[in-house]
Structure 1
Amino acid sequence: MDSKRQQKFSRLIQKDLGEIFQQNANKLFGGAFITVTDVTVSPDLGLAKVYLSFLMSKDKEASLEMVKEHGKQIRNLLAQRIRHQARIIPELNFYIDDTEEKAARIDKIFEDLDIPEDKKDEEE
């Protein structure tokens, strides 16, 4: 359970990182559309886990590696944006958000289920 302070800081980072990815998509990430889906921050605010979703990218793993390679530059751009609102600029760890793929797999499982009709409904 995150504290209010962690939640507020996470939202700030998510908003600013989203803008950074939007503004720098062409020159840094080969035109891939990157969405920041979630950010979780450690209690000391020194580490942020950033979950990313990639659109218009053929290889998500390669895109993630490209983001990680530019990690210091991204952190620097974030620092320029939040320097007046935060004392600590957190270290950024990037992860692929695979929620959409998990949801699609679960939907597929539900579609493949063969649920027999309830016999009570037939009798009435």
Structure 2
Amino acid sequence: MGTESKRQQRFAGVIQQDLAEMFQREGKSWAPGAFITVTKVRVTPDLSIARVFLSFLNTNTAKADIDHIRTKTNEIRYKLGGRIKNQARIVPQLEFFLDDTNEYVEHMDKIFEEISKEPRQPEE
């Protein structure tokens, strides 16, 4: 996928903000105990599909939580439609993905920590 148009970026921003508010208010019923963050939203050029990346904090069951949220996609889309009805002609289909950037960063930090603990070899 190439660069996004201003229109796509603006629409993605609207969706991200509204979904973030929804997850803040109702996320506990969709993923109990987890703190859900909408990290990124990417919209197709025709604005018909929104790919939503979610990050989960305070949970060890992120994969199960994202699967549960995927089962609630129609409910979430309906609620989103009520929020953006004055700003969009259509409510895009929602696709939810797990944003594992935090886990990747933690993993890389551990690797660098291990490397820094290893004794240095003298240069010849």
Same-fold status (TM-score > 0.5):
yes
Question: Secondary structure at 1:61's aligned position in 2?
Answer: helix
Which of 1 and 2 has greater Rg?
1
| Equivalent position to 1:86, from 83, 88, 106 | 88
Could you tell me which residue of structure 2 aligns to residue 51 of structure 1? 53
Partner of residue 9, structure 2: 7
RMSD: 1.9
TM-score (norm 1): 0.86
Segments ≥4 residues shifted beyond 6 Å: none
Compute the displacement of 1:88 (Å): 1.7
Other-structure match for 1:73: 75
> How many correspondences in the alignment?
119
TM-score (norm 2): 0.86
- Give the C-alpha shift of residue 29 in structure 1: 2.9
- Measured against aligned partners, the alpha-carbon deviations of 1:64-104 in whole angstroms (never above 9, x if no partner) come to 11101110000000000001001121110001100011112
Answer yes or no: is 1:41 the counterpart of 2:43: yes
Contact 2:30 2:65 in 1 (8 A): no
Long gaps (5+) in structure 2: none
Listed one character per residue, the Cα deviations across residues 12-31 of structure 1 (whole Å, up to 9, x for unaligned) are 00000001111112333324
Distance 2:47 2:122 in 1: 53
